[in-house]
Amino acid sequence: MDPLANLPFAKGDVALLAPIAIPALFGLVALLLDLALDPRGSKTPLALVNALGCALAGFAAVVLWKGDTGTVGLGGAMVASGLSTGLALAILLGTTLMGFATAHHGTGAGPVRTTLAHGELYGLMLFGTSGMLALVVANDLVTFFVAIETLSISVYALTGADRRLARSAEGAMKYFVLGAFSSGFLLYGMSLLYGAGHTLRLDQLALSTLDPSLRPMATTGTVLLLVGLLFKVGAVPFHAWVPDAYEGAPGVVTGYMSVGVKVAAFGGALLVLEAVGRSGALSTAGIWGLWAVAAITIIAGNAGALTQRNPRRLLAYSGIAHTGYLLVGVVAMLRCFDEYHPAADSGDLLLASKDAVAGVGYYLLGYAAANAGAFAVLCHLERGGEEVERVSDLAGLARTSPGAAVAMTVSLVSLAGIPGTAGFLGKLWVFRAGVGTGDVGLVVLALLASAVSLYYYLYVVVVMFMHEPLPGSAAAVAAEPRRWASRLAMGAAATATVVLGVWPNITRLLGVDLLELMSDGAEALL
């Protein structure tokens, strides 16, 4: 008797795991390779291993995770669509770029001075990436939870990677304790959803018709689940950890988590919310609750960013603001499940909701490129383990290191959402969907907030281009030409940001049309 006869899935389905397994394998390679490297040398071999793993995983995702209807694999444990492929590419882009950005960490004029253990750093980044990729294809609340924990454990530890600094330990501790607390909410929500829906599979939950007497239980479960997810994406009022963790963590880790965790958590949230929305577990009041969270997050994120003078803290609040903009898209997606919506059951509403899903996907892709670019510049300017701590340290960067200044400018302009960049297209797409579903007030608020955000993004640009370099600041010390890896990361991020904003169809030349991928994913999801 064939021992595999009882498997609830085709044996070929195991190949669908490749994009998740490859980063984990390369993480092991990075851990071992570090032992053979000179601790005082540059870590470019590790960065290359990191990039190779990400490239192979991305290739596998593009080849295997296709399908405009969504490929249900492994007995229903996972479901892959164009959206998951697109988000996987965003995550892998972030990991690759941050890998290159930190390759020369600690090198400078003198001997290497760093307390970062690079083997473990790259290993944990790749293990976490594995969990992120599993999260964007999870079709089962168990897979969902294990994926979230895999990425969280990696990021908690990475936040405390700089053993020298008390603030690194403080950030890690805050993130860990609050994160464990949010995992409790997540699990409680899942158990209530299971009690109401009698299934852990998201596709079955979506199809199940909930008994009206069980609806309150399912709604409570959904709200608790949302609390856990909103914590991960840093939405107000669950954002308290974000500035401390972003400031405490080494620049490379901040870049990694600001991209990967956000993209993966939004990907997972879209999958879960589609299922609970369809089953009727999220009531109209629940959607309005999320509407309120989006509004508060946009306001608080932008207001907080206005006064920040530490570039990582600035980007932390900017990340909170972007979570708010993305939530506009999530609210717009949920509107098509709202039975009391004035345009309920009309084809237009469904179209707008699909638009919202595709928009959120594209927004995340652009956000990944721009944010990774900004952090790559900060990593590039690190000297002997000392990071850029003040925006004023960037004064005169345009003169001493024009490439870095331009890359930073492209990233910030994209984050502000100025036309010609990926950030603009993403915002346009998401906000248009928001208008389509009737959330005009929220979109107007988001637009006003974007205008405000120009102040703090362009302030950095003004400092870089118009101020004189401060003596002894990072910008004043001429950038070393040996740092080719972080230059590559900055250049690639800036190029991706511009290409995604001007001519997204050009990605077709690489065998993958990102715009189509997102639309297919939206089609498969809704």
User: Which of 58, 82, 123, 268 touches other proteins (CB under 8 A)?
Assistant: 123
Asked whether position 180 contacts other proteins by CB under 8 A, the answer is no
Q: How far is the CB of 267 from other proteins (least distance, A)?
A: 16
The three-state secondary structure class of 519 is helix
Q: Which stretch binds other proteins (CB under 8 A): 217-225, 227-235, 328-336, 400-408?
A: 217-225
User: Which of 15, 18, 64, 120 touches other proteins (CB under 8 A)?
Assistant: 120
Could you tell me if 411 and 366 are in contact, meaning their C-beta atoms sit under 8 angstroms apart?
Answer: no
User: Which of 20, 378, 398, 413 touches other proteins (CB under 8 A)?
Assistant: 20
Asked whether position 115 contacts other proteins by CB under 8 A, the answer is yes
User: Which of 33, 49, 132, 134 touches other proteins (CB under 8 A)?
Assistant: 134
Q: Which stretch binds other proteins (CB under 8 A): 159-167, 260-268, 360-368, 390-398?
A: 159-167
Could you tell me if 437 and 352 are in contact, meaning their C-beta atoms sit under 8 angstroms apart?
Answer: yes
Nearer residue to other proteins within complex by CB, 115 or 307: 115
Task: For residues 188 and 422, give the distance between their C-alpha atoms in angstroms, rounded to a whole number.
Answer: 38
Asked whether position 393 contacts other proteins by CB under 8 A, the answer is no
β-strand partners of 383:
386
3-state secondary structure 228-275: HHHHHHCCCCCCCHHHHHHHHCCHHHHHHHHHHHHHHHHHHHHHHHHH
User: Which of 26, 65, 100, 127 touches other proteins (CB under 8 A)?
Assistant: 127
User: Which of 71, 102, 143, 450 touches other proteins (CB under 8 A)?
Assistant: 143
Nearer residue to other proteins within complex by CB, 96 or 154: 154
| Structural tokens at position 427 | 């915002």
Asked whether position 27 contacts other proteins by CB under 8 A, the answer is yes
Asked whether position 75 contacts other proteins by CB under 8 A, the answer is yes
With vertex at residue 174, the alpha carbon angle to CA 411 and CA 122, rounded to the nearest 5 degrees, is 55
Q: Pick the closest to residue 175 from 226, 130, 231 (CA basis).
A: 231
Task: For residues 145 and 268, give the distance between their C-alpha atoms in angstroms, rounded to a whole number.
Answer: 10
Q: How far is the CB of 25 from other proteins (least distance, A)?
A: 10
β-strand partners of 140:
201
**What does the per-residue mask of binding to other proteins show for 399-438, with x meaning CB under 8 A?**
----------------------------------------
Cβ neighbour number for residue 366 with a 10 Å cutoff: 27
Asked whether position 111 contacts other proteins by CB under 8 A, the answer is yes
User: Which of 52, 217, 303, 418 touches other proteins (CB under 8 A)?
Assistant: 217
User: Which of 191, 220, 284, 392 touches other proteins (CB under 8 A)?
Assistant: 220
Nearer residue to other proteins within complex by CB, 129 or 308: 129
Q: How far is the CB of 24 from other proteins (least distance, A)?
A: 5
In 335-401, where does DSSP find H-type helix? 347-380, 397-400
Tally of CA atoms within 13 A in the half-sphere of 209 that contains its CB: 0
User: Which of 65, 100, 156, 238 touches other proteins (CB under 8 A)?
Assistant: 156
Asked whether position 130 contacts other proteins by CB under 8 A, the answer is yes
The three-state secondary structure class of 175 is helix
Nearer residue to other proteins within complex by CB, 5 or 509: 5
The three-state secondary structure class of 501 is helix
Asked whether position 289 contacts other proteins by CB under 8 A, the answer is no
Could you tell me if 200 and 142 are in contact, meaning their C-beta atoms sit under 8 angstroms apart?
Answer: yes
**180, 284, 333, 489 from 338: Cα distances, Å:** 32, 6, 10, 43
Strands 78-80 and 71-73: antiparallel
Could you tell me if 252 and 102 are in contact, meaning their C-beta atoms sit under 8 angstroms apart?
Answer: yes
Asked whether position 296 contacts other proteins by CB under 8 A, the answer is no
Give me the residues that bind other proteins (CB under 8 A), please.
6-9, 17, 20-21, 24, 27-28, 31, 39-40, 74-78, 106, 110-115, 117, 120-121, 123-124, 127-128, 130-131, 134, 140, 142-143, 145-147, 149-150, 153-154, 156-158, 160-161, 163-164, 192, 195-196, 198-199, 204, 208, 213-214, 216-217, 219-220, 384-385
